[in-house]
Amino acid sequence: MKIAFSKPEQTNSGTLVVGVSEERKLSPAAAALDKKSGGILTRAMGASRFKGKKDDLLEIVAPKGLSLARIVLIGLGKLEKLDALRLQGMGGQLVAFLNRVGETVATMQVDTLPGVPLQAPDMAAHIAYGAKLRSYRFDKYRTREKEESKPTLRSFNFMVTDIAAARKASAPLDRLADAIFFTRDLVSEPPNVIYPETLAERCKRLTAVGVKVEILDEKQLTKLGFNALLGVAQGSVRPPRVVVMHWNGAPKAKDKRPVAFCGKGVTFDTGGISIKPAGGMEDMKWDMAGAGAVIGLMEALAARRARVNAIGAVGLVENMPSGSAQRPSDIVKSLSGKTIEVLNTDAEGRLVLCDVMWYVQDRFKPKALVDLATLTGAVIVALGHEYAGIFSNNDDLTKNLIAAGEAVGERLWRLPLGDAYDRDIDSDAADVKNIGGGRVAGSTIGAQFLARFVNDVPWAHLDIAGVAWSKKDMPTVPKGATAFGVRLLDRLVADHYEEPA
């Protein structure tokens, strides 16, 4: 779908979209169209339940005299609440509707409106961004699809008085959307296509935007002592990889320490010897969604030339049962030197992350560390699919992450850490065991394990198991991989870690 911006002018084909706020108050564009059409908008609203509220939408067949297929009224709701996030949702809503009715060409006139915190160019940019996000499809393996199932919308044009300002506002959002699409593609790929070696290779794409990509192979990981990660990988014929991505966007900063992001990249998780039930195991191709989000974030930061030094590190393994697989009760010596009693091989993500996180802290001395992982099913029991869980040793970092999530629609809910939970992972045979003593507080136990491998650095763990994949369409996220975390962490960096221009 092509997105463009143009000056307000007469539209002669396709669908024309205009806005209406609460109490059926027409925007200037809608009022002009209503007058030109002899009051058809007013009459159509009067014959319907359309009130101009948020998410309201009314389709009108274009009357004689207008060379359009249809007119669409989109509800703006209360103008003072028409922020960037709502505008993005509106763009996604429109794309979904226009594809459903089989439209190929659409135009929307965007006006500056009293009470709206954004000017028309910024409004147009955010609607276009939402439209692009919703247009995403992962269909590369479909060889036969009914025509009525395919998207039809080829172009969406936004008419705004100041085209240059709209294009300027849209450019960084467009680049962010590309990074989100990259992550969605990675998470959507089947596990026979994406496995540690191939995912590491795809990270090399980031060199095109200036990211330095360093790939550690199995031999190097063994020499360095990544034994917790290697233990997870030893049952698979696919050798593990660790990818370290460097973005040095603030080389002259007084404090050159980077902000660091680590991602769990289990490209397929059978559970290993502690094998999962067959039902739903196909979903485990997206157990690398944390790594996917970190990879997409690094592209987003570099593509917009973010004034920050950042490190992204991902541990890539496949967790398989075989004659060489790790056994429950094995003990491994992690990169930190701490020994781990592995009592459940399906609690593997924490074993991958503990080595990667330790490596990043030891080598780069980051000013802050955030990890993302589809770590536990327990977080879905606690929070469903609406929030990701956040665990942290730092209140300011937690507050900043939660605020960033609210701003972009990727919401976080803080869950506890504590001494009582920490005692539950004391091992009788090693320094720590990888599960607790029962089935309770599973998400906290996973986070508490990771906390044992965190030094004196502000740290947050995001358990994204419930939000990495959606089984239903959402305004800017079609069913499938969500790329949760890319927008959130890009906003965190922009708000709190970038150097002044």
- pLDDT of 144 reads 86
Top-tier CATH class for 2-161:
alpha beta
pTM for this model (two decimals)? 0.97
The pLDDT > 70 percentage for the chain reads 100
Distance CA 31, CA 173 (A): 30
Question: Closest Cα partner for 110 from 126, 96, 123, 94?
Answer: 123
- pLDDT of 11 reads 81
176-496: CATH number? 3.40.630.10
Distance CA 343, CA 338 (A): 16
List, in sequence order, every beta strand (DSSP E) within 92-162.
105-109, 155-159
The confidence band for 130, taking pLDDT boundaries of 50, 70 and 90, is very high
Question: Closest Cα partner for 432 from 315, 319, 349, 351?
Answer: 351
- pLDDT of 435 reads 98
Read off the pLDDT of each residue in 102-118 and give the average, rounded to a whole number. Answer: 95
Phi, psi of 459 (to 5 degrees): -135, 145
pLDDT averaged over the chain?
A: 97
* Inter-CA distances, 368 with 308, 359, 434, 456, Å: 12, 14, 24, 10
| pLDDT higher than threshold 80 for residue 12 | no
Distance CA 465, CA 469 (A): 8
- pLDDT of 149 reads 83
In this predicted model, what pLDDT tens digit does every residue of 363-413 receive, in sequence order?
999 999 999 999 999 999 999 999 999 999 999 999 999 999 999 999 999
- pLDDT of 228 reads 98
The answer to whether residue 276 is catalytic is yes
- pLDDT of 424 reads 97
**Active-site entry in 202, 257, 276, 452:** 276
**Active-site entry in 86, 238, 285, 350:** 350
- pLDDT of 472 reads 96
Domain boundaries defined on the chain: 2-161, 176-496
In this predicted model, what pLDDT tens digit does every residue of 413-471 receive, in sequence order?
999 999 999 999 999 999 999 999 988 999 999 999 999 999 999 999 999 999 999 99
Does 176-496 match 2-161 at the fold level?
no
Question: In the numeric block, which tokens belong to residue 492?
Answer: 């965190």
Residue type, 98: L
In this predicted model, what pLDDT tens digit does every residue of 318-376 receive, in sequence order?
999 999 999 999 999 999 999 999 999 999 999 999 999 999 999 999 999 999 999 99
